[in-house]
Structure 1
Amino acid sequence: MNNSRRSALKTTGAFATLVSLGIVTQSQAHAAMDRAGFDIKTMADAVKALGGTAANSDQITVVAPDIAENGAVVPVGATSKLANTTEIYLIVEKNPTPMAAGFKIPAGTAADVQTRLKMGQSSNVFAVVRADGKLFSAFKETKVTLGGCGG
């Protein structure tokens, strides 16, 4: 494990300890994150909530299966090779609420995130990255055989 990831894990562990001891409540922890984009219903509005339009970039890689057997647990990730990457957002174009995940990337940390998302149907999965104050994006199409958003 490299030192930047180790530092991020230590910081996360310390914060989790503060929550578990009751010094910081879970709602206070969540309040720190801008949640407005997670309530938006369209892809265009989600990107607009992040700060405008995103330019396509070949420096961003979206990691997702070509075919997901179960839309309730689709492994998705993104990697950015752009310098000064500070945020990575995962957006599922055809979900009822497209904004699926948001990650703050601390300085000196590798811009590589992985998670599992729900996908209601086959869709493009976008990674929107903020680097040097500008938005960049890339996408990958993922076909879903069994929907995860109630279908």
Structure 2
Amino acid sequence: MRDRIDIYVLSRRAFVVAGVAAVGLAPFVVHADDSSAAASFAPSQEFKDEFARIVGTATPVDGKIAVDLPETADNGNFVPITIAIESPMTDADHVKAIHLLSTANPHAHVATFHLAPVNAVARVQSRMRLAKTQDVIVLAELSSGDMLISTTRVKVTIGGCGI
């Protein structure tokens, strides 16, 4: 018996039909990928422990925190962040600390910034590293004992590919 090689040549029409079919199915493939990605947004146990340690018995209130973070970070190794909190920064009413947490980094506690009335404004600027697409949590500890919270989702892409 002789080995046989079959060569198939696709006609232009078959190629176009296959391409249109692939484009038509693309939304379903992306949707299936999004549902598995949604499961990966669950906060890590380390984040939950760190959040509980910082918040204690307080109930954080959403508001008064302005977070400037890119919606999409082209490189998770260098993500700029600016945090500003509405506060008079007086002896009686000021922001004591700003805690920066990430829900999916290997180490959930990214940074803590300690402030005092001498700062005059409650604003910090830095950069952080994000391992993958996740939520970034900002907690502001006020002199009154109250806590403020803000949550921002950042999509991290490395080399143009979403994670």
Give the alignment's TM-score, normalised by structure 2: 0.61
The Cα of 1:107 is off from its aligned counterpart by 1.3
1:107 equivalenced with 2:117 (yes/no):
yes
The Cα of 1:41 is off from its aligned counterpart by 5.7
Runs of 4+ in 1 over 2 A off after TM superposition: none
2-structure distance, mates of 1:128, 1:84? 14
- Aligned-residue CA RMSD in angstroms? 2.1
Q: 1:94 aligns with which of 104, 114, 137?
A: 104
Q: How many aligned positions are there?
A: 109
2-structure distance, mates of 1:146, 1:98? 20
Look up the match of 1:117.
128
The Cα of 1:140 is off from its aligned counterpart by 0.9
Structure 2 counterparts to residues 73-88 of structure 1, below 5 A: 73-82=78-87, 83-88=93-98
1:68 equivalenced with 2:73 (yes/no):
yes
Amino acid of the residue matched to residue 139 of structure 1?
T
1:145 equivalenced with 2:157 (yes/no):
yes
The Cα of 1:108 is off from its aligned counterpart by 3.6
The Cα of 1:111 is off from its aligned counterpart by 0.7
1:44 equivalenced with 2:48 (yes/no):
yes
Look up the match of 1:3.
none
2-structure distance, mates of 1:72, 1:65? 13
When structure 1 is superposed on structure 2, of 40-49 and 92-101 the one drifting more is 40-49
Larger radius of gyration: 2
Percent of residue pairs bearing the same amino acid type? 24
Look up the match of 1:32.
none
Q: 1:133 aligns with which of 130, 137, 145?
A: 145
Give the alignment's TM-score, normalised by structure 1: 0.65
